Amino acid sequence: MVMKEMVERQIKEPQILTIDIETSPHTGYFWGHKWQTGILEFIEYGQIIGFSAKWLKGNQITKTLIDYKDYRPGKMNDQKIVKDIHKLIEKADILIGHNIKDFDMRYINSRFLKHNLNPPTTYKLIDTKTEAKRIMKLSSYKLDDLGDYLSIGNKMQHEGFSMWLKCREGDKKAWNRMKKYNHQDTILTEKLYLKLRPYMNNHPSLTIYSEKEGCPTCTSDHVQRRGVYVTKVNKFPRYQCQDCGHWYRGSKSLKIDKKPDSNI
Ligand SMILES: [Zn+2]
């Protein structure tokens, strides 16, 4: 029997999720001074202790370990929180984060594998840190500094490492501060993404998902034809989005009239 592959043509709005995780530090034994020593043995690997995820211009969910019924102070078990992150990513087409390529997704993948979860889906990553570096020349690409520079907001201030230690001991107020901090980071990351988006030249085309005409980076149909985009062998109509300002080329090439070969 020959199995025929069913090809489903799916048309939908792309699901864009901004995500940020908080993690616990690794703990281990060591001898000597804390600034000049190697760890001899791990006691506990770091885990995910909180996440904040926001659908683009939509709902935001922020959870920390203390929100789970089986939470006990002093004990870290991220199995349920990792499963919740997995469920969210399953629904996403595009994931956005600040340093998401180097940190968040690799960390999340480590925890997916640790808990024997399959890869959640195929998704595209947009890293606001990488994009900020590609687009702008600044002295710092930290989220807080970028927020400040672009006047789009700041990270929430907190007491530093002691907040993590207080959370570990079960201090509810510290967990609450951690949650607010995580929540604000995700809001700021989404704002940064929207600010940088018109300048991104490798943004996944959103109009391919929805099969609509319009700006590929913001889906607006308020676009204006402005000149031509020329490649080495062809030329295309050029457009500018009147909502976000992004420039792009049309998909159908303009016909070039071929002149008869004069050498014959
Ligand atoms: Zn646009």
Which pLDDT does position 27 carry in this prediction?
75
Distance 247 CA to ligand 1 centre (A): 8
Low-confidence ranges of the chain (pLDDT < 50): 1, 264
Strands in 94-97's sheet, in edge-to-edge order, are: 60-64, 48-55, 16-23, 94-97, 124-127
What are 229-244's pLDDT values in tens digits?
998 889 999 999 999 9
Distance 196 CA to ligand 1 centre (A): 12
Distance 14 CA to ligand 1 centre (A): 15
Which pLDDT does position 49 carry in this prediction?
95
Quick one: which H or E segment has residue 199? Answer: none
Distance 244 CA to ligand 1 centre (A): 4
Which pLDDT does position 8 carry in this prediction?
65
Question: Which residues have CB less than 5 Å away from ligand 1 (the ion)?
Answer: 215, 218, 220, 241, 243-244, 246
Q: Could you tell me if 186 and 125 are in contact, meaning their C-beta atoms sit under 8 angstroms apart?
A: no
Which pLDDT does position 257 carry in this prediction?
64
Q: If we measure between CA atoms, which residue out of 119, 53, 114 comes closest to residue 78? A: 114
Domain 16-199 annotated CATH 3.30.420.10: yes
Distance 217 CA to ligand 1 centre (A): 5
Residues forming CATH 3.30.420.10 domain(s) in the chain:
16-199
Which pLDDT does position 259 carry in this prediction?
62
